[in-house]
Amino acid sequence: MTSVLARTVSRGRLDGSRQANSGARRRAPHKVLASVANHSILIALLIAFLAPLFFMVMTALMTDQQALTSDILPHPINWANFAEVFERIPLVRYVANTVLIAVSSTVFTVVSSVPVAYALAAFRFRGRRALWIGIIAAMMLPGQVTIVPLYVMWAQAGLVGTPLPLILPSLFGDAFTIFLLRQFFVSVPRAYIDSAHLDGAGELRVLWSVFLPMVRPAIAAAALFSFFSAWNDFFNPLLYLGSNQDWYTLSLGLAQFRTVYAVQWNLAMAATLLFVLPVIVLFFFAQKQFVQGIALTGIKE
Amino acid sequence: MTSSTIRPVEPGIRRARRGAVWRSRLTILAFLAPGLIGLSIFFVYPLLANFYYSFTRYNLVNPAQFIGLANYQFMFDGDRQIGDALRNTVVFCLVSVPTTLVFALGIAAVLARIRSGAGFYRTLFYLPTLLPPAATAVAFAFILNPGTGPVNAILRSLGLPQPLWFDDPDTSQLSLLMLMTWGVGNTIVIFLAAINEVPLEQLEAAQLDGAGPFRRFWSITVPSISPVLLFATITGVIGSLQLFSQPYIVSTVVGGSTQIGYPQNSLLFFTQVLYQQGFRYFNMGYAAALSMALFAATLIITIGMIAATRKSVYSEESS
């Protein structure tokens, strides 16, 4: 996913330079019309795409009374909703739980997936293809296919109701992360690794001091995807933490917020906004990481 | 699959590399260890165990008891929910996958044509994809709520009919489709990348031959991105078969805490029956049988689609 994203960005640049040279064509009037049409379509769609976020923000700022009307713009603006959300639900605890789970599973996932992806990309060994197919299968198959025995496993270990079932598996690599990293890693020229070997460096040293510095953007991208998927996950927290309110994540807390506070959409939207805001902020910072990932895939060509 | 016998690169292979000819088997095994252990414990073992559990009656308290095909029998002629769930899942898959793919392809095609700002648009179209399903489901439950929702407020001011959206079994799946289409950014990015890789020479040659933009898109762009289209279709189908969070949250938010499938089972999907059977009623054996059905369906559909399109899709070996 990221590698595709990465390639797009590099392509975008190529396209830009390509089209700059063909400036002569640009003056044709039908081209201008087509361009206006294209942008109009995109802007119209973009408005539709961003409207839900807009409505969310507007309602999050309404007073209780106004939220019971079908008004769209808030008047007066009621910032107190955000404070009230903190009073109504243990939001700080939800955030702490979610951060703990997302950060630890991201760190573990990356640390345990990097060597696997590196071995898949750099070494030849018997069973490599079988392992690769296994990883793709684990990535593609619906998670529900294995959920019963996994739940039984965690239940027998007495860990249902704790966040450990969400964290411990990440110590042993994640199929999607391994897949993503391996796709990046194969684009690094062998010459770098080989010359490090010539200098007498051991495998671990080659990985740590030669290879890793070169693939830092790929690792950043993999870490971001891993973080987002843990942060956004609903099914697994529902399964393993649904019975224990002390360990509720933001997803769980938000999903049952409305059920508890029947009609207060303004508070529900304020809570939702508090939940998505970090994601949006992180996403805009992450843009840079994606672009950096490209320089790496560009080496291949 | 877990075959871990390590073979050093054979000397004499064409691209034999000086100095790097022999790799320690143990080092490779150590590098692979987390993946091998993880894949064994969290994928291969559960897959096999699930097969076994599907022939048992098991509630986590008493030991699993072998009951033959009884779970499968119950699936076919005892379970009164599964029919609705299966129909909903299949219908939603057949409608949502083409809708989202065509929509994404259309946006990607327009994005590929514009000279500036493609990155800006792409970023914003991608954004909803990354938002937590819990947040987007709650947001749509509000936006489409018939009482105070902004969508019906706008429809009312325009004098248009105002559907009940998630509260009406006739429009609830359409509402869910709108929610899922909002998260189409991922596919847009993938399609845009693929379209930008289409050889420019071919498009220019076709243009010289007098082919219009639609003809060029259909006859050159679409065939050359066919592997990506196939991949997106497969992941889209698998994604819709395992759809859980959004309908579950919408149903509980709109209908109340115990209303799986609200309204009137119209949002009841296969995985929700699985969840309910396994983790609310603790019929682990029956849930395992449902998992097996999901596994078989995924496998058959994936292999079937790859086989059916083998001739028309150009495939690329990635190893």
> What distance in Å separates the CA atoms of residue A212 and residue A122, rounded to the nearest whole number?
13
Residue B174 lies in a domain: yes
Comparing CA positions, the residue from B15, B172, B294 lying closest to residue A142 is: B294
DSSP state, residue B66: E
Residue A14 lies in a domain: no
Handedness of CA A28, A31, A37, A40 (dihedral sign): negative
Residue A68 lies in a domain: yes
Residue B2 lies in a domain: no
Of A55, A145, A197, which has the smallest distance from its Cβ to B20's Cβ? Answer: A197
A179, A250: one domain: yes
What mean pLDDT comes out for the span B126-149? 90
Residues 99-138 of chain B whose Cβ lies under 8 A from any Cβ of chain A: 107, 110-111, 113-119, 121-125, 127-128, 130-138
What is the tally of structural domains in chain A? 2
Q: List Cβ neighbours of A40 (8 Å cut-off, separation of 6 or more).
A: none
Residue A2 lies in a domain: no
Among A33, A62, A84, which residue terminates a domain? Answer: A84
| Residues B183 and B129 sit within 8 Å (Cβ to Cβ) | yes
Residue B269 belongs to what domain range? 81-308
User: Domain containing B269 — which CATH number?
Assistant: 1.10.3720.10
Peptide bond between residue A237 and the one before it cis (omega within 30 degrees of 0):
no
A45, A145: one domain: no
pLDDT at residue number B64: 92
Are A116 and B34 an interchain contact pair (Cβ–Cβ within 8 Å)? Answer: yes
pLDDT at residue number B41: 96
Among A63, A84, A105, which residue terminates a domain? Answer: A84
What is the tally of structural domains in chain B? 1
Among A84, A107, A128, which residue terminates a domain? Answer: A84
Distances (CA, A) of B128 to B166, B183, B238, B303: 20, 5, 20, 31
B145, two tokens:
């709520």
Handedness of CA B282, B288, B291, B297 (dihedral sign): negative
Peptide bond between residue B263 and the one before it cis (omega within 30 degrees of 0):
yes
Q: Residue B207 class from Cβ within 10 Å (0-12 exposed, 13-18 middle, 19+ buried)?
A: middle
User: Domain containing A138 — which CATH number?
Assistant: 1.10.3720.10
Peptide bond between residue A213 and the one before it cis (omega within 30 degrees of 0):
no
A78, A116: one domain: no
Residue B41 lies in a domain: no
Residue B51 lies in a domain: no
A216, two tokens:
């830092």
Residue A6 lies in a domain: no
Of B119, B128, B149, which has the smallest distance from its Cβ to A49's Cβ? Answer: B128
- Whether residue B79 has pLDDT greater than 70: yes
- Contact residues on chain B for A194, CB-CB shorter than 8 A: 17-20
Comparing CA positions, the residue from A229, A72, A159, A164 lying closest to residue B143 is: A72
Residue B131 lies in a domain: yes
Lowest mean pLDDT among A94-108, B169-183, B302-316: B302-316
How far does the CA of residue B88 sit from the closest CA of chain A (Å)? 18
- Whether chain A has a CB inside 8 Å of the CB on B303: the answer is no
CA angle A29, A34, A36 (to 5 degrees): 95
Are A193 and B20 an interchain contact pair (Cβ–Cβ within 8 Å)? Answer: yes
Residue A74 lies in a domain: yes
Mean pLDDT for back-to-back runs of 10 residues, chain A (301 residues): 40 38 54 87 93 93 85 87 88 94 97 95 90 93 95 96 96 92 86 79 82 87 89 95 93 79 80 90 76 37 25
A49, A106: one domain: no
Residue A97 lies in a domain: yes
Q: What is the pLDDT of residues B262-303, one digit of tens each?
A: 888 899 999 999 999 999 999 999 999 999 999 999 999 999
> What distance in Å separates the CA atoms of residue B76 and residue B73, rounded to the nearest whole number?
5
Rg over alpha carbons for chain B, rounded to the nearest Å, is 25
- Whether chain A has a CB inside 8 Å of the CB on B180: the answer is no
Higher pLDDT, B255 or B103: B103
Residue A3 lies in a domain: no
Q: What is the pLDDT of residues B193-245, one digit of tens each?
A: 888 888 888 888 888 888 888 888 998 999 988 888 998 999 999 999 999 99
- Whether chain A has a CB inside 8 Å of the CB on B192: the answer is yes
Q: Which amino acid is at B124?
A: L
A229, A145: one domain: yes
A144, A276: one domain: yes
A53, A176: one domain: no
Residue A274 lies in a domain: yes
Are A115 and B34 an interchain contact pair (Cβ–Cβ within 8 Å)? Answer: yes
Are A42 and B110 an interchain contact pair (Cβ–Cβ within 8 Å)? Answer: yes
Count the Cβ atoms, other than its own, within 10 Å of residue A73: 11
Q: What is the pLDDT of residues B15-46, one digit of tens each?
A: 444 444 455 688 889 999 999 999 999 999 99
Lowest mean pLDDT among A62-66, A138-142, B95-99, B173-177: A62-66
pLDDT mean across residues, chain B? 87
> What distance in Å separates the CA atoms of residue B204 and residue B219, rounded to the nearest whole number?
13
Of B41, B143, B190, which has the smallest distance from its Cβ to A4's Cβ? Answer: B190
Q: For chains A and B, what is the number of CB pairs under 8 angstroms?
A: 322
pLDDT at residue number A195: 80
Phi-psi domain of B159 (left: phi exceeds 0; alpha: psi -120 through 50; beta: other):
left
Count Cα atoms within 13 angstroms, Cβ side, for B121: 28
Residue A132 belongs to what domain range? 90-298
A58, A118: one domain: no
